[in-house]
Amino acid sequence: MTLAILGGTGKEGQGLALRWARAGREILLGSREATKGEEIAATLNEELGTARIRGTSNRDAADEAELVVSTLPDSGHIETLTGLKEELVGKLLIVATIAWPPGPTSKSSAAEDAQEALGDTVRVVAAFQTVSAGTLRKRESEPEDVLICGDDAQAREQTRAVIEEIGLRGVIAGRLAQARVAEAITGALLKINKHYGVKSTGIRITGIETS
């Protein structure tokens, strides 16, 4: 199953692309400008030692892939996704974007905004909100969990499966509205990073066993 990463030329997108490519997936690295996607993909393939990542435009990536991940920045992500609505119909969209700045749970999350903009023809799941780009770039890192929020049970499980391909543990955290909590946790992690002078704190949920 080909996987597309929209806005994939950013640090988070590059980290995810490397992880999934190392796990054996073919990756479409989407960018606003196809040439930038091609340049970053070439650099990542050199790091990998194999050509599993192909750079292209966000539109072509969304159209060709069976599974789509959005690492688009908050500014403009709804505009971009709305413009790709036709290409995303019938697909699972994993939203890693965070409504910025992360904070009060009284405002909707980036994933909720995406679902509202795209409608019921796209299954939206929130994931990776608490995982840093630094963690993703490491070949080996401390055990870390990824909170998965979504209204479609099958989509949540599919998301969990692809997360666990890359050495992280997916934890089902409830419906899509719970993505607000995941975003708020990210805000707290950024404060922790600053206080302790580090860049890649994450979370681990205790007391559960997952397959």
Q: Can you give the CATH number for the domain in which 177 is found?
A: 3.40.50.720
Asked if residue 145 is part of any domain, the answer here is yes
Residue with tokens 């708020």: 184
Asked whether the beta carbons of 62 and 84 are under 8 A apart, the reply is yes
Statement: residue 141 has pLDDT above 90: no
- What is the tally of structural domains in the chain? 1
pTM: 0.95
**pLDDT of 110-137, one tens digit each?**
999 999 999 999 999 999 999 999 999 8
What average pLDDT score do residues 69-73 get?
A: 97
What is the side-by-side strand order in the sheet with 67-70? Answer: 53-57, 27-31, 3-6, 67-70, 92-95, 123-126, 145-150, 169-172
Asked if residue 206 is part of any domain, the answer here is no
Asked if residue 205 is part of any domain, the answer here is no
Asked if residue 50 is part of any domain, the answer here is yes
Residues of the domain holding 179: 3-196
